[in-house]
Structure 1
Amino acid sequence: MKGLCIAVQFLTRLPAPSFAASDEAFAASMRWFPAVGLIVGALVAGAGWVGAHIDSWTGALTALAAWVLVTGALHLDGLGDIADASGAAHKDRARLLAVLSDPHVGSFGVTAIALQLLAKLVLLHAMIAHGDTAALVLVPFAARIAPLFWARWIAPLHDGLGARFRGAIRPIDLGIWATVLLAAAWSFPALLVAIPAAALWGRWIAQRMGGISGDGHGAGIELIETALLLAFCAGAKA
């Protein structure tokens, strides 16, 4: 359970027992990312359910606020950084890495974050309006399986967070979480959208950026979450 506590500390702002983790223990905590996703999903779904007692838009807003607060906007920050770096990628690798390491957010990043929040708000409203609040528990879970595959098969962009995760994921970890995802998809087929979405993001990040980083993982999680929300909404309309 130490790995789960480390993952909770890293991915959320939730209180958790504090550990002095080595680099190896920190990297291994990635195996628990999907479990943390279930915790995040439960809080998001709970907030949406409470807010929906007023109306579906309030439910969407409370769910989105809980999503941002519980994660500390960690993945949104990665999305903004990747958007800014992508805008500079046409110049050279040195410029790309410089933009990624810059703590300031540029116009591309601001636009990407704003659009992401708007997309989630609208899609959350649609899900809550259709009574699919319980399915929200599984969206952050499914999105956090993808980084395990990216860490194993995509080269790290630089000697940073992405490089620390590389090699920590074992085949058994991939097998366990893939099996859980497929089992959940038996009841919620929309979850299968996470598979092509993860593959497409992995291909894009490898070709466009030249490798995966912590920002790449965070941005990918955000985009897969949105793709899953859209898939659930589309399924409700069918």
Structure 2
Amino acid sequence: MVLTALRGAVGFLTRIPVGHDGDAWEAFQRAPVAFPAVGYLVGGLAALPLLGVAVLPASTVAAVAVVWLYTLTGITHLDGVADLGDAAVVHGDPGQRVEVLKDTVLGVGGTVALGVVLLAVALGFLGLAATPIRIAVAVVVASEVGAKLSMAGVACLGTARHEGLGSAFTTASGPRSLLPAVVVALPAGLLAWPSPVAAVALVGAVAGGALVSRWANGLVGGVNGDVFGAANELARLTGLHVGVVAWTLS
């Protein structure tokens, strides 16, 4: 059951070719703990470009890191950022904003949101390129685990507006299912020990994801796939930047 859920999570959260089948997908829906568990894998792999700081300019490392990140994870969650960006500029009720979410045409709001997120992620990696490699890797992993814990929070605490990706998770999990996910995520905060930087990045990512989820939930009147995606992306970049600031001030 656990391994099947993990396989489903890897298939959903990354482009790693583990195969897709109904059993893995359903097991993942019932096991939010798989979100942060896979966060360790994604974070570790996403940090690999930072190993190049010894031979490459920091700006190049940051650019490679962004390209590698979205090669690894795909752009599905960025689609949530774009859709919510378009919905945010609509003057109307949640129903009207949901109609915008369904529109496949990228508008000005979505374009700006995508640009800001990608720029912020790149600048986060640029900041990490100037830190010791152990600290940089710890922050990337903690940020990713925190981002995935945010998604678990959406699954366990959110209410879906309609049938779809959001309801597939929210109807299969409840508040009690969030505790195992929190327990799995906590060790990520110790990765830079004795420095508290990883813990700060973890907390920052969760806080960022929670704020975005709360805002998005109010914007469209419930949880959907776009809320999951936006929470993941905004939580990650918040964790990266909070980690860099924490190291700078330490």
TM-score by length of 1: 0.90
In structure 2, the residue matched to 1:33 is 35
Moved more, 185-194 or 136-145: 185-194
* Separation of aligned partners in 1, 2:205 and 2:31: 21
Structure 2 segments unaligned to the other structure (5+ residues): none
* Separation of aligned partners in 2, 1:86 and 1:200: 15
Assess, with a 3 A threshold, how the Cα gap between structure 1 residues 152 and 92 changes in structure 2: closer, same or farther: same
Moved more, 214-223 or 33-42: 33-42
Report the CA distance between 1:173 and its aligned residue.
Answer: 4.0
Structure 1 segments unaligned to the other structure (5+ residues): none
Assess, with a 3 A threshold, how the Cα gap between structure 1 residues 198 and 140 changes in structure 2: closer, same or farther: same
In structure 2, the residue matched to 1:217 is 228
In structure 1, the residue matched to 2:145 is 141
Moved more, 215-224 or 180-189: 180-189
Report the CA distance between 1:121 and its aligned residue.
Answer: 0.7
CA contact (8 A) 1:47 1:59 kept: yes
In structure 2, the residue matched to 1:189 is 199
* Separation of aligned partners in 2, 1:9 and 1:156: 22
* Separation of aligned partners in 2, 1:215 and 1:121: 22
In structure 2, the residue matched to 1:47 is 49
Residue identity over aligned pairs, in percent, reads 32
Q: Deviation string for 1:54-80 (max 9, x for gaps)?
A: 121121111111111111111111100
In structure 2, the residue matched to 1:130 is 131
Report the CA distance between 1:23 and its aligned residue.
Answer: 6.7
Count of residue correspondences: 237
1:72 to 71, 74, 78: 74
Assess, with a 3 A threshold, how the Cα gap between structure 1 residues 52 and 215 changes in structure 2: closer, same or farther: farther
Assess, with a 3 A threshold, how the Cα gap between structure 1 residues 12 and 23 changes in structure 2: closer, same or farther: closer
Report the CA distance between 1:14 and its aligned residue.
Answer: 0.9
* Separation of aligned partners in 1, 2:25 and 2:128: 40
Report the CA distance between 1:172 and its aligned residue.
Answer: 5.5
User: Does residue 177 in structure 1 map to residue 181 in structure 2?
Assistant: yes
Runs of 4+ in 1 over 6 A off after TM superposition: none
Moved more, 79-88 or 198-207: 198-207
* Separation of aligned partners in 2, 1:161 and 1:184: 28
In structure 2, the residue matched to 1:58 is 60
Assess, with a 3 A threshold, how the Cα gap between structure 1 residues 54 and 5 changes in structure 2: closer, same or farther: same
